[in-house]
Amino acid sequence: MFEVKASMAGSVWKITAEEGSKINDGEDVVILESMKMEIPIPAETSGTIKELKVSEGDFVNEGDVIAIIEA
């Protein structure tokens, strides 16, 4: 089980992965937006997305868990 965490505070602009689907190391899970900057948050391991903890439009703080990946 790996946690995907927000690297900055901001709102969830787009979710680019689906719960239950496979994801490869380096592929984007979500794109965060803050202060006119979009930051993609990639998976740091390959596996299955077990849970997405956020919805589009949600506000997340730095370090918040965005998704859980089961390797």
Partner 1 sequence: MFKKILIANRGEIAARIIRTCQRMQIQTVAVYSEADQQAPFVKMADESYLIGKPRVNESYLNIDKILEAALKSGAEAVHPGYGLLSENAPFAQRVKEAGLTFIGPEGDVIAKMGDKIAARAEMKQAGVPVVPGTEEAVTSVEAAKAAAQTFGYPVMLKAAAGGGGIGMQAVHSDEELEKAFEGNSKRAKAFFGDGKMFIEKLIEEPRHIEIQVLADHHGHAVHLFERECSIQRRHQKVVEEAPSPFLSEKTRQEMGDSAIKAVESLQYTNAGTIEFLVDRNENYYFLEMNTRLQVEHPVTEEISGVDIVEQQLKIAAGDKLELHQDDLQINGHAIEVRIYAEDPNTFYPSPGTLSNLVLPEGPGIRHELAVESGSEVTPFYDPMIAKLVVHGSDRNQASERLAKALHAYEIDGIKCNLTMLKRIITHDKFREGDTTTSFIQNYYLPTLTNH
Residues of this chain that bind partner 1 (CB under 8 A): 7-11, 33-37, 39, 59, 62
Least separation, in Å, of the C-beta of 18 and partner 1? 22
Q: Which is nearer to partner 1, 7 or 46 (CB)?
A: 7
Least separation, in Å, of the C-beta of 59 and partner 1? 7
**DSSP class per residue in 2-71:** EEEE-SS-EEEEEE-S-TT-EE-TT-EEEEEEETTEEEEEE-SS-EEEEEE---TT-EE-TT-EEEEEE-
Least separation, in Å, of the C-beta of 9 and partner 1? 5
